[in-house]
Amino acid sequence: MLEDAAPPLPDKEQNFSEWYNEIIHKAELVDLRYGVKGFIVYRPNIATIMRQTYRLFEDALDEHGHQICNFPVVIPLEFFQKEAEHIKGFSGEVFWVTRAGDTELDKALLLRPTSETAMYPLYAYWIRSYRDLPLKLYQSNTVYRYETKATKPLIRGREFYWIEAHDVHRTLEDAVKQVKEDMKITIDVLHDQLGIPFLLMERPEWDRFAGAEKSYAFDVLFPDRNVLQIATTHLLGENFSRAFEITFEDVDGTKKYGQQTCFGIGISRIAATIISMHGDNYGLILPFHVAPTQIVIVPIPKKGQNELITEKCEEIYHKLKDRGYRVKLDNSEDRPGAKFYHWELLGVPIRLEIGPKDIEKGMITVFRRDKRERIQVKEGKILEVIEQLREDILKELRTRREKDLEENIHEAKSREEFLEIAKNRGGFIKIDFCDNAKCAEVIKVETGGYEVRGKLYGKEEKPKGNCIICGGKAKSVVYVAKAY
Ligand SMILES: [Zn+2]
């Protein structure tokens, strides 16, 4: 129903990669000309989306008894070396600081790839008694990993934005509860506020976070049928508390090791997910909660009546602003059509168009970005309609993505069927599996990179046959996919 020109972007379904590379430039999200591989510049549009995303998670963490803190970006080598598994997992991707001014440092420092080894030596000082527990702290920061795989803006870089929460509990039971709370926080934000569906996976033994007893991860499906891990929570148990001497005197006077968890929320990756999942060939489609501008008002000018139109637009603008909406009145010189194009590209969820005919009839034209539909609304009902639309848009976005995810979970009953799906369809492939790392390696080699992502958390799925790879006894149903 729109009188518009061809979409400004390549077809997302046909060529996601090209679509993605164009939208991040056209919507002025990032600039890749910084000149250091894996390091990119976040422009205001994406930085604002990320700030809103940070707030959603920070508010949820605060509400669940966490406190914010800030640790240094550098970690001394002797801290980093304390937990053996952890060094093994990360040493290959660490950036080192070895020089300051003209002086070689006698003790090398590293840029945090994650902050367990920065925070836990201090936790050992702070925790003395069971009264000091639980300790629940998080940082909103950047971490640095020397990725050797191909980098992709916001998806895989050498610097990324995230939140890391590190908790210490008195009992293992409390730590397990913490992991569940971390899951709930993530589900609430991703599902309820961002319209992002996911599979929550228990990672296989060989793919756990370095030093963790259990790792749980949120995997999302991208339009090209590859998957991306966007948040993880780990049960660390006593692995780190033993290495870092995090002990406390319990109620009965005995000395015990703290039971730990850590929780990572990939903010830049969630931004990439919002862009990729919800966007279309006309640009971004932002969920209300993170949109830098939630409502834009575009005046439709007419000679001789422009004063009246401006007045009405300003009146509506203030009404919405007073309600707490992030609203913009586009008073620029551009033609309305150019303004529509621009704000659609930026993903503003709701646009109001106000012209002489609307004013005459006491109406406002409301455009919803997700469906690209216009409706006529009585001026007096505008707040009510917007209130309803913010829910409807989110629901529409979520439903689309849920359908997409559902359609891309395939079940393979034999090795041949599995290889056929991997080759031609992608997405998640459900198989009966022996839980053996060797079979996971076979999968990787034969499919050119598919990985066993794990078992679905919270849903007991029993294998019906044997492992489809080796024919041995199947122990679980796992989901296999190609990850970024
Ligand atoms: Zn097997």
Does the domain at 409-482 match CATH 3.30.110.30? Answer given as yes
- CB-based contact 235:168 (threshold 8 Å): no
- Give me the pLDDT at residue 84, please: 79
Return residue ranges of the chain for CATH 3.30.930.10: 47-278
- Give me the pLDDT at residue 475, please: 96
Return residue ranges of the chain for CATH 3.30.110.30: 409-482
Distance of alpha carbon 421 from alpha carbon 233, whole angstroms: 30
pLDDT tens track for 410-439 = 999 999 999 999 999 999 999 999 999 999
Q: Are strands 363-368 and 74-76 parallel, antiparallel or unpaired?
A: unpaired
pLDDT less than 50: residues of the chain: 1
Distance of CA 467 to the CA centre of its chain: 33
453 CA to centre of ligand 1 in angstroms: 15
**What b-and-e string marks burial along 335-345, b requiring 16 or more CB atoms within 10 Å of the CB?**
eeeebbbbbbb
- Give me the pLDDT at residue 4, please: 60
- Give me the pLDDT at residue 481, please: 98
224 CA to centre of ligand 1 in angstroms: 28
Q: Which two tokens stand for residue 115?
A: 């902050």
483 CA to centre of ligand 1 in angstroms: 21
Q: Which two tokens stand for residue 186?
A: 């993530």
412 CA to centre of ligand 1 in angstroms: 14
437 CA to centre of ligand 1 in angstroms: 8
Return residue ranges of the chain for CATH 3.40.50.800: 295-389
DSSP bridge partners of 168: 135, 260
CATH, domain range 295-389: 3.40.50.800
450 CA to centre of ligand 1 in angstroms: 15
- DSSP code for 379: G
- Give me the pLDDT at residue 1, please: 41
> Against a cut of 0.75, is the pTM above it?
yes
66 CA to centre of ligand 1 in angstroms: 42
14 CA to centre of ligand 1 in angstroms: 35
CA-CA-CA-CA torsion sign (484, 271, 43, 2)? positive
7 CA to centre of ligand 1 in angstroms: 47
180 CA to centre of ligand 1 in angstroms: 30
- DSSP code for 210: T
Does the domain at 47-278 match CATH 3.40.50.1000? Answer given as no
